[in-house]
C-alpha cells in the first residue's frame, strides 16, 4: 500500500495537508470543514468535556483488532493487547469483549485488566518482577510469565512452590536483530536490558525444565516499536525458529510462539507495512511450525484510534520564532519531547487556512523541550482548537502531573455517540494522598 504524501516542507516548515492525512485515518474526517471523530464534531466534544481532551473511536479500535484476527485466521492465534499503550478501562473492556488477551508489564496493569475480565488470557512481560508481583499474577491464574532473566525463573518457581501452584512460563529471547527504529524504542539488540540472549537460551530452558513448579509453555520476543517494515520481524522469527529446533533436540517442546508487538503506524507520511502484509510475511513459517501464535500489539491497535484535542491559548510571535501556546503540553503528551516524535497537528476547523504562518506549537510547562510540534505551517488564532492525531497510543498512559497539571479527560466515541471514560482530574486530585 502507498499513501500520497500528507505533508510538504516549505523552507524549514512542515505543512500538513489535513485532508490527505485524514483520508488515511478512516475515523477522522472533515465534514463541512469541521473535524469529526467517528461522526462526532471535535467542537462538540470540546464544548461538552473541555480541553485538553483525549478522544478514542471504539470502531477504529475494533476494526484494527479485527484486521489482526483476519490476517492470522489460518492459524491458532491470540492477540494480547499491550496494556501500557492505552490502559483506560473502557479500551480494555472493548478489547476483552472482542476476545483479546493482554500483555502486561506490571501488577498495576494486571489489576486494571482484572477490572474488566479474568486473568486467563494475560501474558506478563517485564524485566523486574518482584515476589509480590509474581504472587499476584499466580493468584490471578494468568496464562504465562514472559521471563526475562534466569534468576526470574528461580524466583517464579519459589513463589509458585510457596503458593502450591505451577507457573506457566515462556522465555523472552533477545534475538539480536536491528529493528531500525529510534534507539529509545528498540528492544531486541544484544545491548538492550530486555530478554535473555540467544546464546543463553537453551541453557535457560534446560534450567527451567529442572524446576518443579514451572511449566514451559512458550517462547517469546519483542524487538522494538514503530517498525515500519517486516524485515526485523522476519529476522527475529528465523532466530526463534532456530531455537525452537534446538530445544526440540533437547526434548523441550513448546505450545506457543509469541512475536511481541511493534508494528508501526502512520503518524504523518510513514508508510508502515499493513497488518495483512505483516501476517503474509510470517504466516508460511508459522503454519509450518504448528504452534499457537501470540502477538502483543499496542501502537498499531490504538494510535490512530485517538486524537488529543487542545485549545490555542496564547500566540507569541518573537523575532526568531512564533510560538503558539496551547493547553496541552508534554505533561499530557510526552512523545514529541521524549522521542522527538513528529505528530500531525491539524485544525479542528479547516475553513480558513489561507494565511498560514510558521508556528512552534508548545505547552506552558517550564521546560524548553515542551514542544508538541516544531515549525508548523498553520493559520491559527487564539481560541482555535487543534487536534493531534495518532494520540491513542502512549498518550494518556504517559501523562503526568508535572507542573501540577490535572490530567485530561478521556472520551470514547461509539457510532456517533460519545461518553466520558475518565473524568478530568480536579485540583484536589493533585495532592491526593499527600500530608502537609
Catalytic positions are 366
Least gap, CB of 13 to ligand PLP (angstroms): 29
C-alpha cell at 21: 492525512
* Count of chain residues binding ligand PLP (CB under 6 A): 16
Assess contact for 268 and 6: CB atoms under 8 A. Answer: yes
| 406 phi and psi angles, rounded to 5 deg | -60, 140
DSSP characters over 144-162: EEEE-SHHHHHHHHHHHHH
Check binding of 298 to ligand PLP (CB under 6 A).
Answer: yes
Q: Where are the alpha helices (DSSP H) in 117-250?
A: 131-139, 150-163, 201-209, 231-249
Nearer to ligand PLP, 262 or 272 (CB): 262
Q: Is 298 annotated as a binding residue?
A: yes
Task: Compute the C-alpha angle 392/398/399, nearest 5°.
Answer: 95
The H or E element containing residue 16 is: strand 13-16
- In the complex, least distance from residue 170 CB atom to ligand PLP, rounded to whole angstroms: 11
Binding status of residue 143 toward ligand PLP by CB under 6 A: no
Kindly identify the residues of this chain, within the stretch 314-353, that bind ligand PLP according to CB under 6 A: none
CA-wise closest residue to 255 among 365, 168, 349: 168
What's the closest the beta carbon of residue 66 comes to ligand PLP, in angstroms? Answer: 17
Taking contact as CB under 6 A, which single stretch among the options 29-37, 51-59, 296-304, 306-314 is the one that binds ligand PLP? Answer: 296-304
Least distance (Å) from ligand PLP to the CB of residue 340?
17
d(CA 84, CA 394): 7
Compare residues 182 and 357 and give the one whose CB is closer to ligand PLP: 182
Q: Does 299 bind ligand PLP (CB under 6 A)?
A: yes
From residue 194 to residue 223, the character string flagging contacts with ligand PLP as x (rule: CB under 6 A) and all else as - is: ----------------------------x-
Element (H, E) at 285: helix 275-289
Tell me which stretch binds ligand PLP (CB under 6 A): 35-43, 67-75, 78-86, 283-291.
Answer: 78-86
Q: Is 242 annotated as a binding residue?
A: no
In the complex, minimum distance from the CB of residue 222 to ligand PLP, in angstroms, rounded to a whole number: 4
Q: Which span sits near ligand PLP by CB under 6 A: 132-140, 207-215, 254-262, 414-422?
A: 254-262
Q: Choose one: 195-203, 280-288, 294-302, 416-424; the region binding ligand PLP (CB under 6 A).
A: 294-302
**What does the alpha-carbon distance between residue 133 and residue 353 come to, in Å, rounded to a whole number?**
52
Shortest distance, CB of residue 227 to ligand PLP, whole angstroms? 8
Other beta carbons less than 10 A from residue 287's beta carbon: 11
* Polymer length in residues for the chain: 436
Q: Kindly tell me which of 42 and 237 has the beta carbon lying closer to ligand PLP.
A: 237
Binding test (CB under 6 A) with ligand PLP, winner from 51, 57, 88, 125: 125
Shortest reach from residue 226's CB to ligand PLP, in Å: 6
| Cα 332 to Cα 293: distance, rounded to the nearest angstrom | 35
* Residue 101 binds to ligand PLP (criterion: CB under 6 A): no
Q: Which of 119, 195, 232, 262 binds ligand PLP (CB under 6 A)?
A: 262
- In this structure, is the dihedral angle defined by the CA atoms of residues 109, 113, 115 and 118, taken in order, positive or negative? negative
Contact partners, residue 308, CB within 8 Å, separation at least 6: 52, 53, 54, 55, 328, 332, 333, 387, 388, 391, 395, 408
Residue 58 touching ligand PLP (CB under 6 A): no
| 52 vs 101 by CB, closer to ligand PLP | 101
* Distance from C-alpha of 334 to C-alpha of 23, rounded to nearest angstrom: 26
Q: How far apart are CA 381 and CA 300, in angstroms?
A: 33
Q: Which part of the chain contacts ligand PLP (CB under 6 A), choosing from 50-58, 258-266, 329-337, 381-389?
A: 258-266
Out of 36, 85, 87, 310, which residue is the one contacting ligand PLP (CB under 6 A)?
Answer: 85
Do β-strands 306-317 and 322-326 pair in parallel, antiparallel, or remain unpaired? antiparallel
Q: Under the criterion CB under 6 A, does residue 188 sit at the interface with ligand PLP?
A: no
User: SS3 letters for 63-102?
Assistant: HHHHHHHHHCCCCCEEEEEEHHHCCCHHHHHHHHHHCCEE
| Residue 56 labeled ligand binder | no
Establish whether 407 is an annotated binding residue.
Answer: no
Give residues in contact with ligand PLP (CB under 6 A): 82, 84-85, 103, 105, 125, 222, 225, 260-262, 296-300
Which residues are documented as binding site for pyridoxal 5'-phosphate? 262, 296-299, 394
Which residues are documented as binding site for substrate? 299, 335, 339, 367, 394
Amino acid at each position: 500500500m502507498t499513501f500520497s504524501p500528507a505533508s510538504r516542507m516549505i523552507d524549514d516548515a512542515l505543512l500538513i495537508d489535513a485532508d490527505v492525512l485524514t483520508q488515511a485515518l478512516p475515523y477522522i474526517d472533515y465534514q463541512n470543514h469541521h473535524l469529526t471523530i467517528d461522526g462526532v464534531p471535535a467542537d462538540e466534544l470540546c464544548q461538552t468535556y473541555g480541553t485538553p481532551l483525549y478522544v478514542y473511536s471504539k470502531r477504529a479500535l475494533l476494526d484494527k483488532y479485527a484486521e489482526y484476527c483476519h490476517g492470522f485466521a489460518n492459524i491458532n492465534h491470540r492477540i494480547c493487547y499491550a496494556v501500557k499503550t492505552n490502559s483506560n478501562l473502557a479500551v480494555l473492556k472493548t478489547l476483552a469483549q472482542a476476545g483479546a488477551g493482554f500483555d502486561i508489564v506490571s501488577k498495576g496493569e494486571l489489576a486494571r485488566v482484572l477490572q474488566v475480565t479474568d486473568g486467563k488470557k494475560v501474558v506478563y512481560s517485564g524485566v523486574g518482577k518482584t515476589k509480590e508481583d509474581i504472587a499476584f499474577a499466580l493468584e490471578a491464574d494468568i496464562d504465562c510469565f514472559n521471563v526475562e532473566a534466569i534468576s526470574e525463573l528461580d524466583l517464579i518457581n519459589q513463589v509458585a512452590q510457596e503458593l502450591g501452584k505451577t507457573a506457566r512460563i515462556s522465555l523472552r529471547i533477545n534475538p539480536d536483530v536491528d529493528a531500525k527504529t529510534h534507539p529509545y524504542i528498540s528492544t531486541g539488540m544484544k545491548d538492550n536490558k530486555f530478554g535473555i540472549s540467544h546464546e543463553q537460551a537453551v541453557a535457560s530452558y534446560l534450567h527451567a525444565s529442572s524446576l518443579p513448579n514451572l511449566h514451559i509453555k512458550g517462547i517469546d520476543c519483542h524487538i522494538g516499536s514503530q517498525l515500519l517494515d517486516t524485515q526485523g520481524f522476519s529476522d527475529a522469527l528465523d532466530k526463534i525458529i532456530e531455537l525452537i529446533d534446538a530445544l526440540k533436540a533437547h526434548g523441550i517442546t513448546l505450545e506457543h510462539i509469541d512475536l511481541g508487538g511493534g508494528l508501526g503506524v502512520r503518524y504523518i507520511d510513514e508508510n508502515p507495512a499493513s497488518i495483512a502484509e505483516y501476517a503474509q510475511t510470517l504466516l508460511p513459517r508459522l503454519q509450518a511450525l504448528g504452534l499457537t501464535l501470540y502477538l502483543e500489539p499496542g501502537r498499531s491497535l490504538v494510535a490512530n484510534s485517538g486524537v488529543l484535542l487542545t485549545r490555542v491559548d496564547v500566540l507569541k510571535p518573537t523575532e526568531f520564532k512564533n510560538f503558539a501556546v496551547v493547553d496541552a503540553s508534554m505533561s499530557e503528551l510526552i512523545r514529541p519531547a521524549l522521542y522527538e516524535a513528529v505528530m500531525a497537528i491539524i485544525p479542528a476547523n479547516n475553513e480558513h487556512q489561507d494565511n498560514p504562518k510558521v508556528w512552534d506549537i508548545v505547552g506552558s510547562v517550564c521546560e524548553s523541550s515542551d514542544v508538541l510540534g516544531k515549525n508548523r505551517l498553520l493559520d491559527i488564532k487564539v481560541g482555535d482548537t487543534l487536534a493531534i492525531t495518532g494520540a491513542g497510543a502512549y498518550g494518556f498512559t504517559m501523562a503526568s502531573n508535572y507542573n501540577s497539571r490535572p490530567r485530561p479527560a478521556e472520551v470514547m466515541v461509539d457510532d456517533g455517540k460519545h461518553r466520558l471514560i475518565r473524568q478530568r482530574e480536579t485540583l484536589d486530585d493533585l495532592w491526593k494522598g499527600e500530608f502537609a
